[in-house]
Amino acid sequence: MDNRPVGVYDSGLGGLTVWREIRRQWPEESLIYLGDGKNCPYGARPAEEIRQLADEAVEKLVAMGCKMVVVACNTATAAAIEFLRAKYNTLPIVGMEPAVKPASLHTRTGVIGVLATARSLDGDLFRRTAARYGADIRVLTAVGEGFVELVEANREHTREAFDTVRRILDPMIEGGADQIVLGCTHYPFLLPVFERIVAGRGVTIVDPSPAVARRVGQLLDQNDLHAEPGHTPYCDFITFADEEYRKRLEYKAFEQDENIAGETH
């Protein structure tokens, strides 16, 4: 048993979609969420710069006593996960893997779509995953241009968001994709928009966040790191940006699911 917190890190607000799932599945675990904010978005930054930013974030979470770190950022995972696991080799680190496998297993048309940042789609992790699970299917990819910026600006419920998503999603659907994988943790904040666009078109949107939370549980089990039964958890929110951004993280976290009860300080 270990009552230390689990650290969750993202370039900004997006990793809160993973934070939500961890809170739902493991409600006795304390969490420290680090949303960089200062350097968001990561999507087009050079890989070496992303590794440096990810290293600074994980170092901060380790210094705050985290027993595990979830890199809830597809771009940071693609650029830095192997480096982080080598440097912090005594720390369980969970990354984001494009959900190509479940999409490939459930496609009826033999075509799936993957929406992600440019850096994620250009990474070895995505190429290996697509080669392993997508060998017998067609994988259509597209950069979610503007998606992160919409979420960071709290504009995900606007007409602009609908038009932006539809412009990128429609060609995938017209190309036969019946499974659309969300390859960036910001993108699930746009789920209501996705669902409006795919309604009645036989398309499933695949959000990997629940699977990531299950992996957190597996590693807690394997390393005997679960919090004690009855432990009262807390949630902290930190950032490399300013206090206003930190408050936005906290607000967005609990706005995302009003059914999550947690103590913040």
Confidence of residue 160 (pLDDT cuts 50, 70, 90): very high
Same fold, 6-96+209-256 and 100-206: yes
**239 among the known binding-site residues?**
no
Average pLDDT, integer, range 155-161: 96
- Find out whether 123 and 78 touch, Cβ atoms under 8 Å: yes
- Please tell me the predicted confidence (pLDDT) of residue 129: 85
CA neighbor of 71 nearest in space, from 55, 94, 37: 94
- Find out whether 98 and 130 touch, Cβ atoms under 8 Å: yes
**pTM score of the predicted model:** 0.90
Confidence of residue 255 (pLDDT cuts 50, 70, 90): confident
- Find out whether 180 and 115 touch, Cβ atoms under 8 Å: yes
Tokens representing residue 185 in the block: 């943790």
Instruction: Look at 44 and 35; give whichever has higher pLDDT.
Output: 35
How far apart CA 162 and CA 168 sit, in angstroms, is: 10
Active site residue 73: yes
**How much of the chain exceeds pLDDT 70, in percent?**
96
- The sheet carrying 31-35 orders its strands as 93-94, 68-71, 6-10, 31-35, 235-238
Spans of all domains in the chain: 6-96+209-256, 100-206
Active site residue 40: no
Confidence of residue 132 (pLDDT cuts 50, 70, 90): confident
**251 among the known binding-site residues?**
no
- Please tell me the predicted confidence (pLDDT) of residue 259: 40
How far apart CA 253 and CA 19 sit, in angstroms, is: 8
Active site residue: 40, 66, 73, 235, which one?
A: 73
Average pLDDT, integer, range 119-138: 85
**Can you give the C-alpha Rg of the chain in angstroms?**
18
Domain 100-206 has CATH 3.40.50.1860: yes
Q: Considering only the top CATH level, what class is 6-96+209-256?
A: alpha beta
Amino acid at 205: I
How far apart CA 17 and CA 189 sit, in angstroms, is: 7
Residue pLDDT, tens place only, 192-230: 999 999 999 999 999 999 999 999 999 999 999 999 999
Greatest distance between any 2 Cα atoms in the chain: 51
**42 among the known binding-site residues?**
yes
